[in-house]
Amino acid sequence: MEERLQKIISGAGIASRRAAEQMILAGRVSVDGRVVTELGTKWDAALHEIAVDGRPIGRQERRVYFLLNKPKGCLSSAKDGRGRKTVLDLLPEVRARVYPVGRLDYQTEGLLLITNDGALMQGLLHPKYEVEKTYLAKVDGALTEDKLKMLREGVPLEDGMTAPAKVRMLPEKGRFSQVEVTIHEGRNRQVRRMFAAVGCDVRRLERVRFAGLELGELARGRHRELTESELAKLRALAGMADEEGKR
Ligand code: URA
């Protein structure tokens, strides 16, 4: 099937559509060994060798999208050098080369999106789209109004102030406070560090929402494919809605 060159490159997960266009204009893309700098030429990736910076891109796989309810005690990277269990071990039937979109800590549970759509992944993780993530934190330590205000307005972390967050107290569970926190940044261990900065210890952390997706009734450790409408919403959030019409 013939497709525009920039679409083949973005579909292979190498860059967003716009970045692929820049690569073409910069003379970094070749077809069957000849540099192509014109935008919009159409090729069949199954019949021609398309290369970026001299390296052939892989044949385009069917794009797949899964929502996983990650349990504690597994890594959200694709592979672990030390042989520990990763989230991909929970999707043994998936043959495509998929990756998690962003990370959850080893001990964090909840919603993780897994896909081989590199362009969508880049869009969802790009700071400019401010994609929201909501966490449910079980917290040890009293949460005063002052502390909640700090969490909402921004707390100083070693890598800078956090952006404003939505923070909502839920009914207590035993001696623990339960707090729902929505952030759009994606810094390492951000929620745990935000609570530590106000003197509270997170005992359990679960991501319940990401980019408008919800865990719903999905059991821990289980996964399901996204629906078409979920995918359309994700594309819009990742700034890809305008690209649909060009497909
Ligand atoms: N914030 C954390 O502290 N941990 C996570 O896994 C995700 C967000």
pTM for the full model? 0.77
Single out the residue of 65, 121, 117, 110 nearest to residue 91, CA to CA: 65
**Pocket residue to mutate for ligand 1, from 76, 77, 103, 108, most atoms within 8 A of Cβ:** 108
Q: Which residue's CA is the nearest one to ligand 1's atom 4? A: 189
* Ligand 1 atom nearest to 192, measured from its CA: 3
Phi, psi at residue 142, to the nearest 5°? -70, 135
Quote the tokens at residue 58.
């892989």
User: What pLDDT sits at residue 45?
Assistant: 81
Helix (H) or strand (E) holding 52: strand 50-52
SS3 25: helix
Taking 70 as the pLDDT cut, the residues of the chain under it are 59-61, 241-247
Residue 175: its pLDDT value, please? 85
Q: Ligand 1 center to residue 51 CA distance, Å? A: 37
Q: Which residues pair with 139 in a beta bridge?
A: 177, 202
Q: Which two tokens stand for residue 103?
A: 């990370």
Distance between Cα 104 and ligand 1 center (Å): 6
- Ligand 1: residue of 105, 138, 159, 183 to mutate (most ligand atoms within 8 A of CB) is 105
Phi and psi at 196, nearest 5°, equal -60, -35
pLDDT of 204 reads 96
Distance (Å) from CA 101 to ligand 1 centroid: 13
- Closest listed residue to residue 201, CA positions, set 137, 151, 157: 137
The amino acid present at 21, given as its one-letter code, is E
For residue 121, the surrounding DSSP H or E stretch is helix 118-125
